[in-house]
Amino acid sequence: MKKADIIEFYSRLAEENPHPETELESVNDYTLLVAVVLSAQATDAGVNRATRALFADVDTPEKMVALGETGLKEHIKTIGLFNSKAKNVIALSQALIENHGSRVPEDHEALKALPGVGRKTANVVMNTAFGHETFAVDTHIFRVGNRTGLAQGKTVLAVEKKLDKATPQPFRLHAHHWLILHGRYVCKARKPECWRCIVSDLCAYKPKTPPPETAKVAARAQSAG
């Protein structure tokens, strides 16, 4: 995608949603970190349903350690991989107490050293909690980057690096949120909703998906013919 098209691409997303935010619910940096860890291979909506009651009572590493792994499992048992996630959350909470004064570190490498925290989770926390210009590439961003031509790559890291290189100011801070939301609600995996996409003319994806009614008419015509 050409530089002028990239600027226009982000400009349209920014105009539609000037202040994008994560859809994960949290009450502070610590609960944000926990929520992001829990969101791996799970939906934000599912995580929110499980954590609303949890975060109302448990909002510090000390409270989480006191709750314990068994107690945490009761709260998050509707989330996929809840057994391993509960173990990691308790372990990372203990690590925060012992190594970081119970605070979430504003450091990418320190975050990745915590149990259950990978590169994507660290990028989300650095961006959302601390305002760093990071690109947390999930399945949505990986798809949007490759499908549109904005940042094509065979791996998550390759897409992240291309986004970092291609995304100009003033779009860098909010870029990953715009792309996640676009992938979640418009540029969907199985059937992208190209007919209502505000950047479809800039997108490299050629078999544009027609509106549902147009598709039905075409199918009836083909059947009749």
Say which CATH number the domain at 186 has.
1.10.1670.10
Provide the annotated active-site residues.
120, 138
Q: Any idea which of 60-74, 103-117, 144-158, 201-215 has the lowest mean pLDDT?
A: 201-215
Do 43 and 69 belong to one domain?
A: yes
| 222 has a pLDDT exceeding 90 | no
Do 33 and 54 belong to one domain?
A: yes
| 221 has a pLDDT exceeding 50 | no
163 located within any domain:
yes
212 located within any domain:
no
Contact 100, 30 (CB under 8 A): no
Do 143 and 114 belong to one domain?
A: no
209 located within any domain:
no
Do 44 and 68 belong to one domain?
A: yes
120 located within any domain:
yes
| 218 has a pLDDT exceeding 80 | no
pLDDT at 61: 98
Do 103 and 35 belong to one domain?
A: yes
Do 58 and 105 belong to one domain?
A: yes
Do 67 and 145 belong to one domain?
A: no
**56 has binding-site annotation:** no
Go through the chain and tell me how many residues it has.
225
211 located within any domain:
no
CA-closest candidate to residue 30, choices 92, 98, 80: 92
Segment 186-197, tens digit of pLDDT = 999 999 999 999
**197 has binding-site annotation:** yes
Do 33 and 118 belong to one domain?
A: yes
Do 38 and 116 belong to one domain?
A: yes
Question: DSSP letters of 124-150?
Answer: HHHHHTT--------HHHHHHHHHHSS
Do 118 and 98 belong to one domain?
A: yes
Q: Any idea which of 53-57, 128-132, 218-222 has the lowest mean pLDDT?
A: 218-222
Tell me which residue range forms the domain holding 64: 29-128
CA 158 to chain centroid: 17
CA 164 to chain centroid: 16
Contact 30, 69 (CB under 8 A): no
Residue 99, domain CATH:
1.10.340.30
44 located within any domain:
yes
Total domain count, the chain: 2
How far is it, in rounded angstroms, from Cα 87 to Cα 83? 6
**187 has binding-site annotation:** yes
Do 46 and 114 belong to one domain?
A: yes
**For range 152-159, the mean pLDDT:** 96
Do 83 and 155 belong to one domain?
A: no
**For range 42-62, the mean pLDDT:** 95
Last residue of a domain, one of 103, 128, 153: 128
215 located within any domain:
no
